[in-house]
Structure 1
Amino acid sequence: MTLRPVPESVPTARRWFRKLLEPHAPDGGPCWTRALEDSLLMMSELVTNAVLHPRSQDSRWRVRVEWWREGTRLRVAVHSPGPPEAVRMRPATEDATGGRGLLLVDALADRWWVVASRYGGTAVTFVVDDAWPAAEHD
């Protein structure tokens, strides 16, 4: 999915992600695993970071979200402008209203990493190993 770098893109990304993953839910319907719910939260946090911290003066840039189902594993990549080295976890204070996105990704994902995006800029990718039960594997 390609999104404009505006706050309204965050709920759009959540709706899109839920709609695309819904057919892959264990019951083929609205019943999601905790891992899929966590993935939705992590994707939303990464899109929020990409929208709030664009690091680009180019008005044509876009946030891109990609996902892959690999057996029981889910891999999600969020692409945004700016250098990979600019992405880092920062300690969040108790009274801060933000700044916990990468901390959540670090806590919930089985793995995550930051690399240069093939679109230019940065790709933050996370993997959830058991997003689907093994019996649901296609």
Structure 2
Amino acid sequence: MAYMIDRYPSEESPRLGAMTLHPVAESVPRARRWFRKFIAPYNPACSVDDCALMISELVTNAIAYGRSDEPWLVRVEWFREGASLRVDVHNPGFPANVRLRHPDANDSHGRGLLLVDSLAESWHAAPSRFGGTVVSFVMADAWPGR
């Protein structure tokens, strides 16, 4: 199987959806498309375009920096937390290696987390419950007044 989509949250979970992707370049546009498709029924008030862009950056980083001696996957999950939307991207890398860079104007890489930092209400990196690293971002007021 090339991928798995899990978009049915349980009664107890605020999870709205999840996808599992192979660590290949084609997974980046797939993650954007799937997120747009599966978040649409929830009608968030935050910018879905901004979320898709940040997911692209985090999936790209997960693919570039995830490391394992065994075959591995990138997992993307999104949750409703009160009025906020939280997106988690998991890979088998090391949390200590996640850092915000400030690249020079002529650097061709290193802007992904800077972009996330500027668009999201907040973001963080931590050990993943699946092993490895999770990088998360939060969009505030995704469902205001609900």
Short-chain TM bin: 0.7 to 0.9
The answer to which structure has the higher helix fraction is 1
Equivalent residue, structure 2, for 1:36: 48
Q: Deviations over 1:64-91 (max 9, x none)?
A: 0000123421000000112110111122
Gaps of 5+ in 1: 27-32
Q: Deviations over 1:43-69 (max 9, x none)?
A: 1110010112223332x1110000012
TM-score (norm 2): 0.80
Spell out the pairing of 1:58-137 with structure 2 (5 A cutoff): 58=70, 60-134=71-145, 137=146
Q: Which has the higher contact order (CA 8 A, sep 6+)?
A: 1
Equivalent residue, structure 2, for 1:19: 37
Comparing 125-134 and 46-55, the one that deviates more: 125-134
- The Cα RMSD (Å) is 1.5
Once superposed, which parts of structure 1, at least 4 consecutive aligned residues long, lie more than 6 Å away?
Answer: none
Equivalent residue, structure 2, for 1:53: 65
Equivalent residue, structure 1, for 2:5: none
Gaps of 5+ in 2: 1-18
- In structure 2, how many angstroms separate the alpha carbons of the residues matched to 1:130 and 1:41? 18
The code of the aligned residue for 1:63 comes to: V
The answer to which structure has the higher strand fraction is 2
Cα displacement (A) at 1:14: 0.5
TM-score (norm 1): 0.85
- In structure 2, how many angstroms separate the alpha carbons of the residues matched to 1:57 and 1:94? 35
- In structure 2, how many angstroms separate the alpha carbons of the residues matched to 1:34 and 1:118? 27
Q: Percent same amino acid at aligned positions?
A: 57
Count of matched residue pairs: 128
The code of the aligned residue for 2:133 comes to: T
In the alignment, is residue 5 of structure 1 matched against residue 17 of structure 2? no
Note if contact 1:76-1:125 (Cα within 8 Å) is conserved in structure 2. yes
